[in-house]
Amino acid sequence: MDKTSLKDFNGWPEAKSRELVSTLNTSSGWIRSVIAARPFENLTALKTVSEKVWFALPEAEWLEAFEGHPKIGDVNSLKQKYAATRSTAQHEQSSTSVADEAVLHDLKARNDQYLAKFGFIFIVFATGKSAAEMLEILKRRLPNTRDQELTNAAVEQNKITLLRIDKSFQE
């Protein structure tokens, strides 16, 4: 993926900038706020605004962003439902493609339990983690309360968004 110059992004029309920014985080409130905050002096400023906006959003916006992710290990969902973020999500979840079949089945089953319990999918910063590591994180988080998991998922989403910013922009 070619990186976009921050200078170019600052000058783009709203529709063009929305197209790029929506691949970083699918919360419509986050997208609007980040676009409205342009121009950015540097990547640090963009990431600072991103983080500030993200943590100020209401729960509904967080849930909207979570919907923009495939379930970890659910390859069919990855291919069909999330075309806009497919290439970035596939790279972020690349360790699931080489995982043991039993781990993947357990990961899917526990993802389903998580969704049923909390009402949103399991969000984890998957970069650099094996499927077995993600499964262990999921097992540790399943006993949490919904409020704890909403916060955990928001923190993980922020990490994902910041990584996507780094991969998408250059100064």
Q: Please, what are the domains in the chain?
A: 4-63 (no CATH), 68-156 (1.10.3330.10)
Say which amino acid occupies 62: W
91 is catalytic: no
Bridge partner list, 170: 5
Q: How confident is the model at residue 18 (pLDDT cuts 50, 70, 90)?
A: very high
**Cα(123)–Cα(21) distance, rounded to whole angstroms?**
19
Residues 111 and 138: beta-carbon distance below 8 Å? yes
- Pick the more confident residue, 44 or 92: 44
Q: Quick one: tokens of 145? A: 């309360």
pLDDT in tens, 69-90: 876 655 444 334 323 333 444 4
Tokens describing residue 140: 């540790």
89-128 residue pLDDT tens: 444 444 444 557 788 888 889 999 999 999 999 999 988 8
Average pLDDT, stretch 139-161?
98
Identify the active-site residue in 31, 65, 69, 72.
69
Res. 129 pLDDT band, cuts 50 70 90: confident
- DSSP secondary structure string for all residues of 35-102: HHTPPPSSHHHHHHHHHHHHHHS-HHHHHHHHHTSPPTT-HHHHHHT-GGGHHHHHHHTGGGGGS-HH
